[in-house]
Every structure is written in C-alpha cells, then in structure tokens.
Structure 1
Amino acid sequence: MSTGLIFDIKKFAINDGPGIRLTVFFKGCNLQCKWCHNPESMSPKVQKMYNAKKCIGTVKCIEVCPNDALKMTLEGIVTDYNVCNLCGKCSEICPTKAFEMLGSEIPISELMKKIDNEAIFFDQSDGGVTFSGGEPLMHSEYLLAALKECGKRMYHRVVDTTAFSKLETVLEVAKHTELFLIDLKVMDSEKHKEFTGVSNEKILSNIVELAKTNCEIIFRMPLIKGVNTSEENIKKTAVFMNSLDGNRATINLLPYHKVAENKHVKLGDSNKFIEFESPNNDEVLKVISIFKNYEINATIGG
C-alpha cells in the first residue's frame, strides 16, 4: 500500500461539504496557483514552518540540531536549509511549538482511527470526511483505500480537487465518492496557465466526463480581481456549467484574501507571496447576477 503525505487533519470543518466534517489535507499539488491560500500544501515534500512570534529564545532547538543548521539572529531562529535534513527534532523540543513540521506519512489504519473518532459528529450533523490538499488525486492509491474504508462505514465522502489528473483516476475515485468540490479558476486556457502553471483543457474535459456519472459536483470559484471577475469569464463559466450533464447549477464564490502572506513568512519564502485584489461588494453582486441570468445559483462562501 502506498502512503499519502498528509500535512493537516482538521476537525469540526464546516466549509468543506455538508454537516460537520473531518478534512484530510494531502501535501503536494500539480497546480501552482499564484493566489493559493495554502502555500504549505504545494510542495510534495516535507517542509518546516517557523513562527517567530511564538519563539521565546530557549535555543533548545539549536542545541538538539544534529547538523548545526539553526542560528539565533535578531529576527529569531534562522534555518540553513543547505544542511537541514528536516528531521523534526527542533519541532519536538520547542516548548512553544514555534517550529512545525509539515507532512507525515500516516498508515490507512491510523487515519481510519482518527476518522472513526469523529463518527458521532457525522451522525448528528449529516457530515462526513473530506479529502483535500494540495491535490488528493496525486495520492490516488492511498486516497482510494481511504475512500473505500469510509464507504464500508457509510461515511459521506467528499473529494476537493482541481480535477487535473488522469481521467481513469478521476472516474475510479468517482465510484467511491458522494460529492466533488471543484474549482473553476478561469476559462481562458492561456490565462489559466499563466496563473496556475497548467492549461485547463484536461481539467475541463475531465469535468465533462465526471458530470456523466451520478456524482454530485459543487463548483467553486476563487474571485480574484483582474484574473477571473470579468463579465466575459463569468459568462463562459456559466455556459460551460450549463453544457454539463445533470444538474450542475451551483457555484460557491470565494473572494480572494491574503491569508497566505503570513504562511509564506513562516515558510521562509516571503518573496514568493504575490498580493492580488479582492473584488468589492458591487463587483461580487454583479458576478452573482450574471450567473443568475444563466439560472445558476452563486453564493458567497461554502
């Protein structure tokens, strides 16, 4: 059994599908969206975060580091990643958890124990388990094993995905999933590639085929001014949704926010943060109105 690199498991999630959910975040994504609010999810490798505000300067981390990769400065602890082997000893000994290791391989049996512990909340709220990321389809063997185990227990299953994968993988996952959450980022392929690193033809063709199955799909759109809020893009998105098989008339709008800025600082790559502009209220209402003209229910959040 292959393993899946997981960087977070969030309890009591209420925005990743119906009811109260446990959300499992896989590490690694085959898109590199410039506005991503989870930059710690992008790399498929273990990473380390450092929160200088939590550091109280005990220097225990420096003492325990086997490679002398840490150094105290006026700005706090600095890691020399040329010699750091990401062993995690600094995070283990830090009394305030200023260091945090991102990414661990969790056996399916251990993951299911964590999921089973939340079952009472699923039952009471019609919730379940959501697999997110990063991109869960990059860990397809592990993902399918987890989905099948959840299916045996009758847990509601959601996969939050870019749909950028082999079609066979998407359709196989669909056999063991009740709901997909899929972003429609921008319809123009060249613009999609400019802002995410990949063109969108494969994504859109996969969605067309996925829509032919019985799986429920809820689309999402990160609203970023200057990227995808134009009337032309919203109309193209609506036309695409209306062309799909089944009832595909729901989209959740997610206005841009810059929560990723602080995460980039903690990752030590603040130079990679790019600030975009969030649409104002009138612009959001216009987007909702355009979708409504195409009989699509667009709501904020979700």
Structure 2
Amino acid sequence: MEKERIFLEQSGGGVTFSGGEPLRQAPFLMTLLEEFGARSLHRAVDTTGFAKSDILLEVAKRTDLFLYDLKMMDPRRHKQWTGVDNGRILENLQLLARTGAHINIRIPLIKGVNDDDENISRTADFVAGLYGEKKKVTLLPYHNIAAGKYARLGEEYDPGDLAEPDESDISRVISLFSDFDVDAAVG
C-alpha cells in the first residue's frame, strides 16, 4: 500500500476490507486496521453487520468508514433470502450509529425481493431513526452480469427469482426514502 500512497492521497482513497464477512476474521482485521491507521491510510470495512456486538465495537475503534449492508426489515423474509435473522444486524447498526461511526448504508436492491413499498418505507424509517448525523444510503441495483460470465463458460445461468429493477422502480424507492427525509442515491 505504501507503493500506492501517492495515488491514494491524490484520489482520496484508502483500504477497504470486504469479503465474505471481514468481521469473521476479527483479530487479523484489527491488526491490519491498526497498521493502516498508524500509516494514516483511510480504512473502510464493508460488512453485513452479522457479528458479535463486542467485535463490531472493537473494529469501530480502528475504522474510518463502514459500508453497512441492509437488505430487508422483516426478519422472516430476511432469513428466507439470506439464511439468517436480521435482529443482530439491526441491533448492531443501532449500536454502531451510537458510537458516532461514519456509516454508509448500502442496500442491494432486487426487484420483487426487497423493493416493495412496505420494506423500503420500514427501512427508511429505521435509517431516519438512527442516532447521530443523517446516514448516507446507497442503492445497489441488482444486475444479471453473471449471465454473461456463465455464457462464456458454456454454462446456463438461472437467476431464479432475482430481477433487475428498472428506472421507475429506482425512482420510486428514492422517493420513498425522501418521504422520510433520507437521501438515497444509486451507487
């Protein structure tokens, strides 16, 4: 990273830890965060928030920015689509906000899965109620780019129930967030 310092300083960039889930490698992650912090390099952690709260809070002491995924509010639907209940994820986001951490909430937006008015309104209400400064919300519209990759491998791609939101879907979602005084934009 030191070899790239000039580029990082000129671009305002830094180091982003993602995965998988970087919080599952907490000791290693914290060591790297401390080292990059000692070198004055910006540190971001891309997380689902599905971790023990004490680990998240320790990581927060060493992190400049969290890219925090928020998929859906209903715990039953969340478990159906991700395999886990979202209780811990929501609680951790509230805890993290109370630390004053800089958080960019990212929502992977999938037509017919989590783009319905009820889920978006509940999400916007939750985000609006988080402690501290208004949180930035970045919408990440689902795309089926994997179809091309599969085709190049000579394999068939089955997206199942996953569909790309169109421009009107995205506009509607942004408008719903706006109703709760939350700024949302496509990232």
Establish whether TM, by shorter chain, passes 0.5.
yes
Counterparts in 2 of 1:164 and 1:122: CA distance versus 1, 3 Å: same
- TM superposition shift of 1:264: 6.3
**Structure 1 residue 297 corresponds to structure 2 residue 183:** yes
Contact (CA 8 Å) 2:30, 2:59: kept in 1 or not? Answer: yes
Describe the superposition over 1:201-238 as per-residue Cα deviations: whole angstroms up to 9, x where unpaired. Answer: 01000111111112100001111011111111111001
Structure of greater relative contact order (alpha carbons < 8 Å, 6+ residues apart): 1
Contact (CA 8 Å) 2:120, 2:177: kept in 1 or not? Answer: yes
Q: Secondary structure, in 3 states, of the residue corresponding to 1:207?
A: helix
Question: Where is the helix percentage greater, Structure 1 or Structure 2?
Answer: 2
* Aligned residue number for residue 198 of structure 1: 84
Instruction: Map 1:208-287; keep pairs closer than 5 Å.
Output: 208-261=94-147, 274=160, 276-287=162-173
Give aligned-pair identity as a percent. Answer: 47
Looking at structure 1, the residues matched to 33 and 75 of structure 2 have their Cα atoms a distance apart, in angstroms, of 31
Contact (CA 8 Å) 1:258, 1:275: kept in 2 or not? Answer: no
* Aligned residue number for residue 170 of structure 1: 56
* Aligned residue number for residue 121 of structure 1: 7
Moved over 3 A (4+): 260-275
Looking at structure 2, the residues matched to 172 and 210 of structure 1 have their Cα atoms a distance apart, in angstroms, of 10
Looking at structure 2, the residues matched to 261 and 254 of structure 1 have their Cα atoms a distance apart, in angstroms, of 18
Q: Choose which of 145, 148, 172 in structure 1 pairs with 2:31.
A: 145
Looking at structure 2, the residues matched to 273 and 282 of structure 1 have their Cα atoms a distance apart, in angstroms, of 21
Describe the superposition over 1:236-294 as per-residue Cα deviations: whole angstroms up to 9, x where unpaired. Answer: 00111111111133211111111234556899996885461111111110110111111
Paired residue total: 187
* Aligned residue number for residue 7 of structure 1: none
Contact (CA 8 Å) 2:103, 2:135: kept in 1 or not? Answer: no
Larger radius of gyration: 1
Stretches of structure 1 that go unaligned for 5 or more consecutive residues are: 1-114
TM-score (norm 2): 0.92
Looking at structure 1, the residues matched to 63 and 179 of structure 2 have their Cα atoms a distance apart, in angstroms, of 31
- TM superposition shift of 1:121: 1.0
- TM superposition shift of 1:183: 1.1
Counterparts in 2 of 1:241 and 1:133: CA distance versus 1, 3 Å: same
Q: What CA RMSD, in Å, does the superposition of the two structures yield over aligned residues?
A: 2.0
Looking at structure 1, the residues matched to 120 and 108 of structure 2 have their Cα atoms a distance apart, in angstroms, of 12
Question: Where is the strand percentage greater, Structure 1 or Structure 2?
Answer: 1
